[in-house]
Chains A and B, each alone.
Chain A
Amino acid sequence: MLKAVYYTNQFFAGLGGEELADIGLGMFDEPKGPAVGLTRQWKGEMEVVRTIYAGDNFINIDENFEAIGEELLEMVKSAQPDVVLAGPAFNAGRYGVACAKVMAFIGEELGIPVVTSMWWENPAVEMYRRRVPIMSSTETAAGMRKSLPDLGKVALSLAKGEPLGPARKVGYFPTDKRKNEYVEKTGAERVVKMLLQKLNDEPFITEVPLRTLDRVIPAPPVVDLSVAKIALITVGGLVPKGNPDNLKQAFSVAHGKYELTDSNPLTSDNFESIHGGYDTTYASADPHRLVPHDALRALQQEGIVGSIYPYFLTTCGIGTNVESSVNIGEAMLRDLREGEVTAAILTST
Chain B
Amino acid sequence: MNKVLKRYVYKVDSVEFGEKSKLENGHLTISKRELQEAVQPLFEHVKSVDFELVKPGSDTRIIHLLDTILPMIKRTDESGRVYSGFFSDPYMVGTGSTNVMSGLAVMESCALPWDEDSASSGLLYPRDAILDMQGPIAGMTPFSETNNLVILYELEEGRSSAEYDDEIRYIGLRVAMTLAELTLDLPADYIETYTIDEVDPELPNVVLVWQCQNQGPYANTLLYGVPIDDIVPTLLHPNEMLDGAVVSGNYVWPAFKVPTYNHVNHPILLELYRLHGLELNFRGVIFCRSHNPTNWHKLRNANMCVKIAEYLDADGLIMAWEGGGNAAVDGMLTIQTAEKHGIKCSTITFEFGGQDGSEGVLLVDDVPEADAVISGGSIEKAVTLPQVSRVVGGDVMRLNKETGGFFPPADEPITFEQTIHFYMSGNQCGASKLSAVEY
- Tell me if B437 and A249 are in contact (CB < 8 A): no
Is A191 an interface residue when CB atoms closer than 8 A count as contact?
yes
Pick from A18-26, A83-91, A314-322 the stretch touching chain B. A314-322
- Residues of the B chain whose Cβ atoms lie less than 8 Å from the Cβ of A212: 361
Question: In the assembled complex, how far is the CB of residue B351 from the closest CB belonging to chain A, in whole angstroms?
Answer: 6
CB proximity to A under 8 Å, residues B405-439 = 417-420, 427, 429-439
- Tell me if B123 and A186 are in contact (CB < 8 A): no
- Tell me if B438 and A187 are in contact (CB < 8 A): no
Considering only CB atoms and an 8 Å cut-off, how many residues of chain A contact the other chain? Answer: 64
Pick from A137-145, A170-178, A333-341 the stretch touching chain B. A170-178
CA distance A177 to B418 in the complex (A): 17
- Tell me if B315 and A199 are in contact (CB < 8 A): yes
Pick from B68-76, B183-191, B299-307, B371-379 the stretch touching chain A. B371-379
Is A278 an interface residue when CB atoms closer than 8 A count as contact?
yes
Write out, one digit per residue, whether chain A residues 268-280 have a CB within 8 A of any chain B CB (1) or not (0): 0000011111111
- Residues of the A chain whose Cβ atoms lie less than 8 Å from the Cβ of B357: 176-179
Q: Are A251 and B418 also in contact (CB < 8 A) when A180-B378, A198-B316, A323-B360 are?
A: yes
- Tell me if B380 and A321 are in contact (CB < 8 A): yes
- Residues of the B chain whose Cβ atoms lie less than 8 Å from the Cβ of A273: 122
Question: In the assembled complex, how far is the CB of residue B295 from the closest CB belonging to chain A, in whole angstroms?
Answer: 12
- Tell me if A279 and B434 are in contact (CB < 8 A): no
CA distance A208 to B328 in the complex (A): 14
- Tell me if B325 and A182 are in contact (CB < 8 A): no
A197's nearest neighbour on chain B, judged by CB, is B372
- Residues of the A chain whose Cβ atoms lie less than 8 Å from the Cβ of B212: none
- Tell me if B404 and A210 are in contact (CB < 8 A): no
- Tell me if B324 and A321 are in contact (CB < 8 A): no
- Tell me if A179 and B437 are in contact (CB < 8 A): yes
- Tell me if B402 and A248 are in contact (CB < 8 A): yes
- Residues of the A chain whose Cβ atoms lie less than 8 Å from the Cβ of B219: 279
- Tell me if A187 and B420 are in contact (CB < 8 A): no
A280's nearest neighbour on chain B, judged by CB, is B122
CA distance A196 to B346 in the complex (A): 9
A188 touches which of B271, B326, B420 (Cβ 8 Å): B271
A210 touches which of B121, B363, B380, B432 (Cβ 8 Å): B363
Is A209 an interface residue when CB atoms closer than 8 A count as contact?
yes
Q: Are A207 and B402 also in contact (CB < 8 A) when A174-B439, A199-B204, A273-B122 are?
A: no
- Tell me if B121 and A280 are in contact (CB < 8 A): yes
- Residues of the B chain whose Cβ atoms lie less than 8 Å from the Cβ of A192: 206, 268, 271-272, 275, 280, 318, 346
Is A243 an interface residue when CB atoms closer than 8 A count as contact?
yes
B402 touches which of A181, A197, A276 (Cβ 8 Å): A276
A282's nearest neighbour on chain B, judged by CB, is B121
CA distance A183 to B435 in the complex (A): 7
- Tell me if A279 and B435 are in contact (CB < 8 A): no
Q: How would you classify the secondary structure of chain B's contact residues: helix, strand, loop or mixed?
A: loop
Q: Are A321 and B437 also in contact (CB < 8 A) when A248-B402, A278-B123 are?
A: no
Q: Which of B354, B371, B374 has the largest number of chain A CB atoms within 10 A?
A: B374
- Tell me if A191 and B204 are in contact (CB < 8 A): no
Question: In the assembled complex, how far is the CB of residue B115 from the closest CB belonging to chain A, in whole angstroms?
Answer: 14
- Tell me if A177 and B356 are in contact (CB < 8 A): yes
Write out, one digit per residue, whether chain B residues 332-349 have a CB within 8 A of any chain A CB (1) or not (0): 000000000000111111
- Residues of the A chain whose Cβ atoms lie less than 8 Å from the Cβ of B324: 277, 318-319
- Residues of the B chain whose Cβ atoms lie less than 8 Å from the Cβ of A213: 360-361
Q: Which of B204, B354, B402 has the largest number of chain A CB atoms within 10 A?
A: B402
- Residues of the B chain whose Cβ atoms lie less than 8 Å from the Cβ of A278: 122-123, 215, 291, 326
- Tell me if A187 and B358 are in contact (CB < 8 A): no
CA distance A127 to B320 in the complex (A): 36
Q: Are A186 and B431 also in contact (CB < 8 A) when A195-B345, A319-B324 are?
A: yes
CB proximity to A under 8 Å, residues B170-213 = 204, 206
CA distance A189 to B352 in the complex (A): 22
Is B403 an interface residue when CB atoms closer than 8 A count as contact?
yes
Write out, one digit per residue, whether chain A residues 253-284 have a CB within 8 A of any chain B CB (1) or not (0): 00000000000000000000111111111011
CA distance A176 to B361 in the complex (A): 11
B123 touches which of A184, A246, A275 (Cβ 8 Å): A275
- Residues of the B chain whose Cβ atoms lie less than 8 Å from the Cβ of A210: 361-363, 366, 368, 370-371, 373
Q: Which of B279, B361, B372 has the largest number of chain A CB atoms within 10 A?
A: B372
- Tell me if B380 and A191 are in contact (CB < 8 A): no
A206 touches which of B120, B372, B418, B432 (Cβ 8 Å): B372
Is B267 an interface residue when CB atoms closer than 8 A count as contact?
yes
A187 touches which of B253, B272, B403, B433 (Cβ 8 Å): B433
Q: Are A276 and B270 also in contact (CB < 8 A) when A187-B348, A191-B318 are?
A: no
- Residues of the A chain whose Cβ atoms lie less than 8 Å from the Cβ of B11: none
Question: In the assembled complex, how far is the CB of residue A178 from the closest CB belonging to chain B, in whole angstroms?
Answer: 3
- Tell me if A322 and B359 are in contact (CB < 8 A): yes
Is B227 an interface residue when CB atoms closer than 8 A count as contact?
no
CA distance A281 to B121 in the complex (A): 5
- Residues of the A chain whose Cβ atoms lie less than 8 Å from the Cβ of B373: 206-208, 210
B360 touches which of A198, A211, A279, A284 (Cβ 8 Å): A211
- Residues of the B chain whose Cβ atoms lie less than 8 Å from the Cβ of A215: none
Is B216 an interface residue when CB atoms closer than 8 A count as contact?
yes
- Tell me if A191 and B439 are in contact (CB < 8 A): no
Q: Are A243 and B403 also in contact (CB < 8 A) when A178-B436, A186-B432 are?
A: yes
Is B353 an interface residue when CB atoms closer than 8 A count as contact?
yes
- Tell me if B438 and A166 are in contact (CB < 8 A): yes
- Tell me if B403 and A190 are in contact (CB < 8 A): no
Question: In the assembled complex, how far is the CB of residue A209 from the closest CB belonging to chain B, in whole angstroms?
Answer: 7
Which 4 residue pairs across A and B have the least CB separation, nearest first? A178-B357, A322-B360, A188-B430, A187-B430
Give B contacts to A, CB under 8 Å. Answer: 120-124, 139, 204, 206, 215-216, 219, 253, 267-268, 270-272, 275, 279-280, 291, 315-318, 320, 324-326, 344-349, 351-354, 356-363, 366, 368, 370-381, 400, 402-404, 417-420, 427, 429-439
- For this complex, 5 residue pairs linking A to B, each with C-beta atoms less than 8 Å apart, are A175-B358, A181-B437, A186-B271, A187-B433, A249-B402
Give A contacts to B, CB under 8 Å. Answer: 130, 164, 166-168, 174-192, 194-200, 204, 206-213, 237, 243, 246-251, 273-281, 283-284, 318-319, 321-323
